[in-house]
Structure 1
Amino acid sequence: MPDAPYRDARLPARRRVEDLLSRLTTDEKIALLHQHAPAVPRLGLAAHTTGTEALHGVSWLGPATSFPQAVGLGATWDRALLRRVGEAVATEVRAFHERPAAPGRARIGLNVWAPVVNPLRHPLWGRNEEGYAEDPSLTADLAAAYTGGLRGDHPVHWRTAPTLKHFLGYNNETDRTTSSSDLPPRVLHEYELPCYRGPVEAGAVAAVMPSYNLVNGRPAHLTPYLKEELRQWKNGADLLVCSDAEAPSNLVAAQRWSADHAEAHAAALRAGVDSFTDHGTDSPVTTARLTEALRRGLVTEADIDAAVGRQLLMRINCGELDPELDPYAGTGQDVIGCEAHRGLARQAARQAVVLLRNEGGLLPLPADGTLAVLGPLGDDVLRDWYSGSLLHRTTLLDALRERLGADRVLHADGLDRIALRSAATGRYLSAAPDGTLAVSAEHVGEHEGFAVQDWGHGVTTLQAHDGRYLTKDGYGLLAATADHPDEWVVQETFRLERGEDGRVRLRHLGSGHWVALAAGSDALTTYASSREQAEPFTVRTVSAGAERAAALAAAAGTVVVVVGNDPHVNGRETEDRPDLALPPQQEEVLRAARAANPRTVLALVSSYPYAHERARADVAAVLWTAHGGQEGGAALADVLLGDHNPSGRLPQTWYRADQPLPGLLDYDIITARSTYLYLDEEPLHPFGHGLSYTEFRYGALTAAVDGDHALAELTVANRGPRAGAEVVQLYGRAHDAPVATPLRRLVGFERIELAPGEERRVAFRVPLAALGRFDPGHGRWTVDPGRYTLAAGASSADLRAAAELALTGPAAPPRPGLAGPIAARDFDEAAGVRLVERSREGGEAVAGGGPTPARLVFRAVDFGDGATRVELTAAREGAGPAAVELHLAGAVTRIEVPATGGRYAWTAVRADLAAPAKGVHELRIVLRGALRLAEAAFG
């Protein structure tokens, strides 16, 4: 249909979508709702797939340029760099898109599932590596930059269509499909939503993916915030919403929210989900459910049209119908891993390195003498689940030897070598050159020694003499054939359990089974279902890793100990970390090296923070970098040798081991006093911290109000001997707010390059709204009048210049107490409260019933000429005593709440107040017992 309106590139994209929708049959439209949408040949629509992973490089499609992990990109605090990385990743996605499709499949899709903008609220979150920062403003700025690069600069056509993940309140892997994240109004509007709103309003976001968890009692894939917030923002109306994998089925399976899948899919579609990622490529399962939902009247044709229309709009924006006009069409394969992208990867990895400590100027390393590189990560480059296939690997050891010469750089991994002797046969486990394992050796030689890597908490990996890992093959046999742990279910981890007989049994953690001798064979299987069936081994230590490390440290002029995590082990998607500790084996190597040589540098290469107080106190120089992709080793060498002056800054707080962390499921950062925004204590390393090889001086800060902005300026000078980059950070604080507000809040930052002796004037233009807060009493943002401090410095705890502002204007009025019901969920403060759904369709309430009474505080409520009675809207499922106490006007009104028969069986409970309330009062509500409260109306 060459003359059809949808073919006319001169028409507005929405007009073209309307025409296409009118030509599609209902069955064709429903088919387009699955992730793997079929072609519609009669209309010239090709098969289409949503979801190409592009978090820090193209993933899962073959070799591509690999950039540092997202948390490492966050450590650069560099908007321009993030945009360039986004451009490079999108260009390589386009190259993959140009490849012919596999038979029966669509070409690689241009809808990319990146970036992750969940704020890094909790350092134990298993997916910490995927986010940018703990701060919502920094997260939003970097996400806007990255999506800007992914989208491209063309006014009409998009290079790729970025997707923000994961909406909303998602920072736990533990019970992630069944746990509910409680987001009080202030936490929602001040901390969570800004991470999404910033990049969406910047205009480079095409889609959003909901999270697996529930939010305030309701599955995130059904949250009203998709429509009430996300699609109300500037540039938000046409956002595509792509479900996370298997999440639509979870509504019935794990979450038990819906009675059947047709009902669940209908609810998701009505809530705003447009693309269903479920059952892999088996789209008929999803289309049958949606067809059934339409037949039963659970959704309408208009619901389907709205979802399909957003999909078609994205496809048109990416040039599908106008390849001759698409400036990105025909991208050649030579861009994948090109020299420019390799150079950018190295620059990003350099800027991701954070110098945490450098006492006595131990770094950069001296130009002469010998250097010992110790630790398990010194000669390795590790990938995470979203890293993709590396085109090449440069380890730190390789880079240093290339620069300094192999004879000057010593190396030991610090791992113990052990031999395992079978109790049944008396022979030793041996690894053949092809990786075959057999309990067959009479004596211990090279092939019988296995390196044991303790990753902490009893989780170990075993490597044969050639470095390959022991793994379970497809037949359940053990073999030394894996390059690294690298599957959704890791097959390379074991637990070595010593029994009372002194012998060790191996438990294979991927399968949960035990290692035993195969029947009639000297091979090992993972089929034993119990410890009693496991083969006992006598363990013989062939060599002690810490002793070898100490010997090399003593022989070297300077030592670099490289430790950290494997992103597939003890903290990753589906698995949170248990604590902040370094693995004991790594601590032992570090202690041994430091005892042998005081000139010891600690290089932490990890996806998340560690509580390394002992190392900080004892080691003169400490660096941290996230896993840096293909150029990570070279970049770290550049920093150690002084070829690059470190400029990375921590994107999240590093806590001390003795600091109590909030619960992993406690999302109320205000009440928990967590993140740098509210933390009252001194952490191990503060948010924004990072040192340099040069010295930056800050001049006086001036600040003034200019309309609806605050203007702040200061001079920053490089008074040291080297050129370097400083990240000038500006923080704001309110002194007279009527509720708890952040102790410091990032309101601006600039990364500046200064030559020795150079100084520069740095100016910030800060919207006054950035100093405000959300007012639950009126459901709006407000900026309180009063005193504010703006402070500039090198970190959130190193503020070197400050100025005060006095903001005038009307204060937020008291909350109206008589104009209508007070919603229970709109509290100013709370403790022991759960936020829950008011009904299956919408609304929110609060619930008590925990070990302590639930308490709500409403700070200033105006009861006018007086209130003498109250009507509560409450619900109770069970029996037993339950009551609501109103602490108001110096009196306590206790109201018994009867059982109502269900969580949604709301009833009105009326009572006279113990004392009349007149004028403005603080209202405190206490929930005693298991009950739900939706609102309180006074009269």
Structure 2
Amino acid sequence: MRLFQFILFFFTGLQLLKVQAQEKTGYIPLTKQERQKVELLLSKMTLEEKAHQLASFYPNANKRLNIPHMQAGECLHGVVAAGTTSFPQAISIASSWDPSLVERVSTVIAKEARALGIHHCYTPMLGVLRDARWGRFEEGYGEDAYLVSKIGVAFINGLQGRGKNRFDKDHVVATAKHFVADSEPLLGANGAAVEISLRSLHEVHLPPFRAAVEEAQVGSVMPAHHTLNGVPCHINTYTLNDVFRKEYGFDGLGVSDNNDLRWVQDRLFATESREETIRKALEAGVHTELAFKQTWADKRMYGPPLVAAVKNGKVPVKLLDDAVRKVLEFKIALHLDEEENPLGKEMTELQKGTKDADVNADVFFSQIDGSLSSPRSNYKTVLNNPAHDALALEAARKSLILLKNNNLLPFKKSQFKKIAVIGPNADTIRLGTYSTQQPKHFITVKQGIETAVGKNAQVLYAKGTDIQHPKDTQLAEAVAIAKEADVCILVLGDDDKTVMENVDRDDITLPGDQDKLLQAIVATGKPVVLVLLHGRPAAIQWAKDHVPAILDGWFLGQETGTAIAEAIFGDLNPSGKLTVTYPRNVGQVPAFYNTLIPGRPRMMWGTTEGATYPFGYGISYTQFKYGVPKLSKASMKASETVFAEIEVTNTGKVAGDEIVQLYLRDDISSLARPIKELKGFKRISLRPGETQKISLPISSRSLEFWKDGKWITEPGSFTVMMGPNSEELKTIKLELTQ
């Protein structure tokens, strides 16, 4: 009997050891054997072979050791490659206030990326947007750190997968960028220096990155172009190491932004030599380099200059080994050796067509499709999955915002005999930046209207104006068509030159002669629906005052025209809400709702202080009535969670979605606090006459603020606010005790 028990115990122990050996652990999930494989490969590499592993968006396979190639790519709102699904732009899909939708979208993006041979995506962009002049505005999710965190975490989880699906064959490594505070640059200029307090850094700009690590274990991080309080972000050990790694717990891959390692020395003049630049970047945990279209030569910092610096002792080999180790860990975690063509393309293929020159943004966007990726044999089946198109349409529907409606919308499909569709964005592809140059399809607003009305109405069309080079004859033609029509749908906004990386503005009016076109069409006296397809908040106060209906889509993706037509004709009840404030003019920039309380009341000569539209705003074809907010407890300890509750009723005649928002204000604090801060939200669907009770949690995390180098809470009174946007709020008091 004892012998039997011993044998049973022995084999049970062996089985347990085997299971433990196969268990994946760590920030980058690997088994014990896989980590041993990393060390074995590292020990067999030459110095030059190690350096090649640090090349991002460049051949990095090793045929001698059978180390696979890891391909990077752009996936902001769809994979930047021909024939992929184009979802609403980042600022647009955030307007859905629907993290579950966002995660489903990024799950599809990851699946298409892997089918195309892309394993590492340079997205999401987690900047907290505060300056409408900034050219990269459309790449972000909004002006509030809490909202950006929730949308960003959802996008990362979709890209990387959860649980057993994390980094599997249908998921990729996500990149939190740009670290940090690039969305509040001086003068609104991309890459400009950022000078802000540590308090603003921790309370406004760092929280989305903190959430990316703590809630989604984001795989990689990309530093920003600029200097932060005088220190280039690519060699900033305080933000990258002290905060991101030590405080938040990040243990993933650092990747440089394009050519920024070299520019630490050549543009920012923060180092004296290549060796110093390389050493400081590696010390800050920037493990790989993106140097698009740079050959294996002196302008590729982690190329020959790195090899030389290690050989002459200026860069410790341990720094190089630590960086290579991270790359190998991800290559194994992603199972890249199981791909159909794991070694990718030959380096010589890239060298032949590459000029050793700096590459500007326009060239980068147009050439990025010509990547090194090796698509799987079934990639066309994956890209052409009808479910992906259906999801793109769902995302467009939920992201579309109704800003104004004086009982003009929705139309009946037989209501008008002649419908004028006018504007530079009415019948052309508008996807926004970091988009595929060859979408699988794109439905324009004109096409959507034509499909919706069929033979019930005649659709007239005029461009009205070119955004870049307007002509007077275009305006006259548009006015003539407007006079002939019964109603006008005017589609205005941005093109791919007026809002993009490295293209900022000192004016936020509609670019070109679009305001002139708008006023001319309104002057005809015909009913006008203004549709905005754009990438930054526009100064549309005149439109708010004079146009009866305004729909805002930002850039809605490939299904733009279908979603807008559905909203115009009542097949869709718009439900999106703004994630940014719409300033009246550029003089109100930077504009954001959660400002600190001023020391004196502000007076403006010749105008008023308020924004055109506030954060969180958006209306519906139905009406929602909010009850009186209640708390599950009137007071709480820091260790407890209290729930804020409110009843919302659809008092209208059609079904609709509402986004219930929760804000908090610290009534008395040792430091001045914002007048309100978003701390919760929930998207709900209500039938006519239906009432739902919404419950949103409030924890000590909701009440904390950053002071003297740490997060703290202070006992006292807090105002709890609930409502449909950041201004129309109902309040109740909460007490935080010791």
Q: TM-score range by the shorter chain?
A: 0.7 to 0.9
Residues 1:212 and 1:622: Cα distance change in structure 2 (over 3 Å): same
Query: Residue in 1 aligned with 2:61?
Result: 39
Q: Letter of the aligned partner of 2:244 in structure 1? A: L
- Separation in structure 2 between the aligned mates of residue 48 and residue 461 of structure 1, nearest angstrom: 45
Out of 640, 652, 661, the residue aligned to residue 589 of structure 2 is 661
Structure 1 unmatched runs, 5+: 98-108, 416-451, 463-540, 674-679, 810-939
Query: Residue in 1 aligned with 2:75?
Result: 54
Query: Residue in 2 aligned with 1:698?
Result: 626
**Given that residues 161 and 206 in structure 1 are in contact (C-alpha distance below 8 angstroms), is that contact kept between their aligned partners in structure 2?**
yes
**Are 2:482 and 1:545 aligned?**
no
- Separation in structure 2 between the aligned mates of residue 766 and residue 584 of structure 1, nearest angstrom: 46
Query: Residue in 2 aligned with 1:80?
Result: 100
Helix, strand or coil: the match of 2:680?
strand
* C-alpha displacement of 1:330: 7.6
**Are 2:379 and 1:358 aligned?**
no
Helix, strand or coil: the match of 2:266?
coil
Query: Residue in 1 aligned with 2:452?
Result: 403
**Given that residues 403 and 549 in structure 2 are in contact (C-alpha distance below 8 angstroms), is that contact kept between their aligned partners in structure 1?**
yes
Residues 1:174 and 1:279: Cα distance change in structure 2 (over 3 Å): farther
- Separation in structure 1 between the aligned mates of residue 87 and residue 624 of structure 2, nearest angstrom: 29
After the TM superposition, which residues 742-781 of structure 1 pair with which residues of structure 2 at under 5 Å, given as runs? 742-776=674-708, 779-781=709-711
- TM-score of the two chains, using structure 2 as the length reference: 0.84
Structure (1 or 2) with the larger CA radius of gyration: 1
- Separation in structure 1 between the aligned mates of residue 383 and residue 127 of structure 2, nearest angstrom: 29
Query: Residue in 2 aligned with 1:194?
Result: 207
**Given that residues 622 and 653 in structure 2 are in contact (C-alpha distance below 8 angstroms), is that contact kept between their aligned partners in structure 1?**
yes
Q: Letter of the aligned partner of 1:372 in structure 2? A: A
- Separation in structure 1 between the aligned mates of residue 650 and residue 269 of structure 2, nearest angstrom: 60
Query: Residue in 2 aligned with 1:318?
Result: 334
* C-alpha displacement of 1:26: 2.9
Query: Residue in 2 aligned with 1:472?
Result: none
**Given that residues 125 and 173 in structure 1 are in contact (C-alpha distance below 8 angstroms), is that contact kept between their aligned partners in structure 2?**
no
**Are 2:247 and 1:218 aligned?**
no
- TM-score of the two chains, using structure 1 as the length reference: 0.66
**Given that residues 597 and 673 in structure 2 are in contact (C-alpha distance below 8 angstroms), is that contact kept between their aligned partners in structure 1?**
no
- Separation in structure 1 between the aligned mates of residue 188 and residue 676 of structure 2, nearest angstrom: 32
Query: Residue in 1 aligned with 2:544?
Result: 616
Q: Letter of the aligned partner of 2:446 in structure 1? A: L
**Given that residues 118 and 192 in structure 1 are in contact (C-alpha distance below 8 angstroms), is that contact kept between their aligned partners in structure 2?**
yes
Query: Residue in 2 aligned with 1:419?
Result: none
Q: Letter of the aligned partner of 1:394 in structure 2? A: I
* C-alpha displacement of 1:284: 4.3
* C-alpha displacement of 1:669: 6.9
Deviations 1:748-778 (A, max 9, x none): 00001111111111111122222221003xx
Deviations 1:443-472 (A, max 9, x none): xxxxxxxxx62x3xxx5268xxxxxxxxxx
After the TM superposition, which residues 76-475 of structure 1 pair with which residues of structure 2 at under 5 Å, given as runs? 76-97=96-117, 109-155=118-164, 157-158=167-168, 159-171=171-183, 172=185, 179-224=192-237, 225-236=239-250, 238-278=251-291, 280=293, 282-285=295-298, 286-321=302-337, 332-359=379-406, 361-367=407-413, 368-370=415-417, 371-388=419-436, 389-405=438-454, 408-415=457-464, 453=466, 455=467, 459-460=468-469
**Given that residues 174 and 574 in structure 1 are in contact (C-alpha distance below 8 angstroms), is that contact kept between their aligned partners in structure 2?**
no
- Separation in structure 2 between the aligned mates of residue 198 and residue 738 of structure 1, nearest angstrom: 26
**Given that residues 126 and 173 in structure 1 are in contact (C-alpha distance below 8 angstroms), is that contact kept between their aligned partners in structure 2?**
no
Helix, strand or coil: the match of 2:513?
helix
Query: Residue in 1 aligned with 2:527?
Result: 599
Helix, strand or coil: the match of 1:120?
coil
**Are 2:580 and 1:652 aligned?**
yes
**Given that residues 34 and 283 in structure 1 are in contact (C-alpha distance below 8 angstroms), is that contact kept between their aligned partners in structure 2?**
no
Deviations 1:358-393 (A, max 9, x none): 12x111123321322111211122233311121112
- Separation in structure 2 between the aligned mates of residue 150 and residue 672 of structure 1, nearest angstrom: 41
Q: Letter of the aligned partner of 1:115 in structure 2? A: P
Deviations 1:113-171 (A, max 9, x none): 11111111111110111001111111111011111111123525441110111111112
Residues 1:179 and 1:398: Cα distance change in structure 2 (over 3 Å): closer
Deviations 1:325-375 (A, max 9, x none): x9x99864311032111111111111111111112x111123321322111
- Separation in structure 2 between the aligned mates of residue 762 and residue 671 of structure 1, nearest angstrom: 29
**Are 2:730 and 1:708 aligned?**
no
Query: Residue in 1 aligned with 2:493?
Result: 564
Residues 1:713 and 1:631: Cα distance change in structure 2 (over 3 Å): same
**Given that residues 188 and 504 in structure 2 are in contact (C-alpha distance below 8 angstroms), is that contact kept between their aligned partners in structure 1?**
no
- Separation in structure 1 between the aligned mates of residue 618 and residue 188 of structure 2, nearest angstrom: 35
After the TM superposition, which residues 464-543 of structure 1 pair with which residues of structure 2 at under 5 Å, given as runs? none
- Separation in structure 2 between the aligned mates of residue 716 and residue 134 of structure 1, nearest angstrom: 26
Residues 1:387 and 1:38: Cα distance change in structure 2 (over 3 Å): closer
Helix, strand or coil: the match of 1:804?
strand
Q: Which structure dedicates a bigger proportion of its chain to helix?
A: 2
* C-alpha displacement of 1:210: 0.6
Structure 2 unmatched runs, 5+: 1-20, 25-29, 343-374, 600-607
Residues 1:570 and 1:25: Cα distance change in structure 2 (over 3 Å): same
Calculate the aligned-residue CA RMSD, in Å.
2.7
Helix, strand or coil: the match of 2:393?
helix
- Separation in structure 1 between the aligned mates of residue 66 and residue 557 of structure 2, nearest angstrom: 40
- Separation in structure 1 between the aligned mates of residue 167 and residue 52 of structure 2, nearest angstrom: 25
Number of equivalent positions: 655
Q: Letter of the aligned partner of 2:439 in structure 1? A: L
**Are 2:720 and 1:786 aligned?**
no
Residues 1:582 and 1:24: Cα distance change in structure 2 (over 3 Å): same
- Separation in structure 2 between the aligned mates of residue 86 and residue 386 of structure 1, nearest angstrom: 15
**Given that residues 162 and 205 in structure 1 are in contact (C-alpha distance below 8 angstroms), is that contact kept between their aligned partners in structure 2?**
yes
- Separation in structure 2 between the aligned mates of residue 177 and residue 571 of structure 1, nearest angstrom: 11
Residues 1:52 and 1:718: Cα distance change in structure 2 (over 3 Å): same
* C-alpha displacement of 1:173: 9.3
**Given that residues 357 and 620 in structure 1 are in contact (C-alpha distance below 8 angstroms), is that contact kept between their aligned partners in structure 2?**
yes
Q: Letter of the aligned partner of 2:49 in structure 1? A: E
Helix, strand or coil: the match of 1:302?
helix
* C-alpha displacement of 1:38: 3.2
- Separation in structure 2 between the aligned mates of residue 210 and residue 590 of structure 1, nearest angstrom: 41
Residues 1:684 and 1:617: Cα distance change in structure 2 (over 3 Å): same
Q: Letter of the aligned partner of 1:245 in structure 2? A: N
**Are 2:653 and 1:726 aligned?**
no
Residues 1:13 and 1:754: Cα distance change in structure 2 (over 3 Å): farther
Residues 1:10 and 1:642: Cα distance change in structure 2 (over 3 Å): same
**Are 2:67 and 1:21 aligned?**
no
Residues 1:717 and 1:662: Cα distance change in structure 2 (over 3 Å): closer
Worse-superposed segment, 402-411 or 124-133: 402-411
Residues 1:185 and 1:720: Cα distance change in structure 2 (over 3 Å): same
**Given that residues 559 and 597 in structure 1 are in contact (C-alpha distance below 8 angstroms), is that contact kept between their aligned partners in structure 2?**
no
After the TM superposition, which residues 847-886 of structure 1 pair with which residues of structure 2 at under 5 Å, given as runs? none
* C-alpha displacement of 1:321: 4.1
* C-alpha displacement of 1:276: 1.1
**Given that residues 408 and 549 in structure 2 are in contact (C-alpha distance below 8 angstroms), is that contact kept between their aligned partners in structure 1?**
yes
Return the structure number with greater relative CO, CA threshold 8 A, min gap 6: 2
- Separation in structure 1 between the aligned mates of residue 230 and residue 318 of structure 2, nearest angstrom: 28
Q: Letter of the aligned partner of 2:584 in structure 1? A: R
Q: Letter of the aligned partner of 1:91 in structure 2? A: K
Query: Residue in 2 aligned with 1:682?
Result: 610
Q: Letter of the aligned partner of 1:216 in structure 2? A: N
- Separation in structure 2 between the aligned mates of residue 122 and residue 340 of structure 1, nearest angstrom: 36
**Given that residues 144 and 678 in structure 2 are in contact (C-alpha distance below 8 angstroms), is that contact kept between their aligned partners in structure 1?**
yes
Helix, strand or coil: the match of 2:588?
coil
* C-alpha displacement of 1:74: 1.1
